[in-house]
Amino acid sequence: MAPQRDRGGGYWRDLDWILLIAAVALSLMGSLLVWSASRADLASESDPQSYLKRHLINIGVALVLGFIASRINYRLLRAYTPVVYVASMVLLLVPFVPGLGVTIAGARAWIDVPLGLTIQPSEFAKITVILMMAALLSERRDREEEPSAQDVLLALAVAAIPTAIILVQNDTGTVLILAAVSLSIVAVSGVRTRWLVGLIGAAILGVLASIQLGLLQEYQVDRLTSFINPNEDVSASAYNANQAAIAIGGGGLDGYGLFEGPQTQGNFVPVNESDFIFTVAGEELGFLGSALLIAFMAVILWRAVLIAWKADDLYGRLVATGVAAWLAFQMFENIGMTLGIMPITGIPLPFVSAGGTSMMATWIALGLLQTVRLHSLAVQRSEV
């Protein structure tokens, strides 16, 4: 039986403060970028700071949720994962309910809630998929056996169900994230190489089949292919990519200064408070500011991988691996699409972009990393 975590001063002592400080710094830096990106849009409004205020409230709520996640009993987390998973799948279907679902940028992936707010259930689905796959693939390894074919297939089915729902919602960005997370968790679980080769091949065939069979909307195909040759593409996706390149390229070494970027303040780059937030950093903070932003991200990923490496059991290692893979892929994809090296998808930059559900989900994920670390340290002390 795993030892109980110290509920006193040991909790604060054992937290990964390097991880926490990097994430807080990233969120604060993101707040400045969101403020700059939203000022021009709200210049004629009665409260030009309303967007910033809402963003700061979202961060506050996210910090509370992250704290709660870090305090969850390790054994209870594992025991109640199936219940949380089922609840998440039900929530994922709510956007299809007339009167509740909201379509944004072609994706019916949001739920309308009171006070004029919306939530995106697919953000929480990332967490539940990680927890459920980790629970399934760690059961047999806890008895010193590699996951059986049945375990792997069941874990893949757990990931496939929300992936299929989200694909119907036209949210291809989240589908790609879940694919990267699933592959990473399976790889670290100790399965044989043939499983990984088969999964990669199936993913490639799935993308090609979706395009050929018309399962993807035309604008989705444009987003996925416009980065290959943006100069010959006249779609909106190519326009977005070109404007992003102009903004980042114009920033130079130290940028125009906060609130001074011509592309940002002129509203030339669309949704630059969320999907294209990195263009604001590139234009107004320049290469140096962008490098600092990426450095904070690198620290977060380094600590996440370190927590996974030092986890005392396979369950914790798979949870930390899933979180690390999620954040790494989403960070690379978001920044990559603004630089023209990755396809354009509607996914935010973790800890930086505006978006309450995304901010809450990433801070919950950070709390889970802390839970794995705290459990590992408690086990190490009990063995001394």
Complete DSSP assignment for 196-246: HHHHHHHHHHHHHHHHHTT-S-HHHHHHHHTTTSTTT--SHHHHHHHHHHH
**Residue 81 resides in a domain:** yes
pLDDT tier for residue 307 given thresholds of 50, 70 and 90: very high
pLDDT tier for residue 1 given thresholds of 50, 70 and 90: very low
By percentage, how much of the chain surpasses pLDDT 70?
85
**Residue 93 resides in a domain:** yes
**Residue 48 resides in a domain:** yes
| 228 has a pLDDT exceeding 80 | no
Structurally, the chain folds into a number of domains equal to 1
Separation between Cα atoms, residue 64 and residue 364, nearest integer Å: 9
Q: Which of 101-105, 221-225, 270-274, 309-313 has the least mean pLDDT?
A: 221-225
Complete DSSP assignment for 104-156: ETTEEEEEEEGGGEEE-HHHHHHHHHHHHHHHHHHTTGGGT-PPPHHHHHHHH
Separation between Cα atoms, residue 172 and residue 166, nearest integer Å: 8
**Residue 224 resides in a domain:** yes
Q: 110 or 87, which is more confident? A: 87
**Residue 5 resides in a domain:** no
47 is in which domain, residue-wise? 11-382
pLDDT tier for residue 221 given thresholds of 50, 70 and 90: low
Closest CA relative to residue 354, chosen from 20, 7, 39, 6 = 39
pLDDT tens per residue across span 67-99 = 999 999 888 888 899 999 999 999 999 999 888
Cα-based torsion angle of the residue sequence 306, 312, 318, 324 in order, rounded to the nearest 10 degrees: -20
pLDDT tier for residue 353 given thresholds of 50, 70 and 90: very high
**Residue 4 resides in a domain:** no
**Residue 248 resides in a domain:** yes
Separation between Cα atoms, residue 376 and residue 382, nearest integer Å: 10
Tell me which H or E stretch contains 163. helix 149-168
Look up residue 273 and give its DSSP letter.
Answer: T
Look up residue 4 and give its DSSP letter.
Answer: P
pLDDT tier for residue 63 given thresholds of 50, 70 and 90: very high
pLDDT tens per residue across span 324-352 = 999 999 999 999 989 888 888 889 999 99
End-to-end CA distance of the chain: 16
Q: Which of 107-111, 247-251, 275-279, 366-370 has the least mean pLDDT?
A: 107-111
**Residue 6 resides in a domain:** no
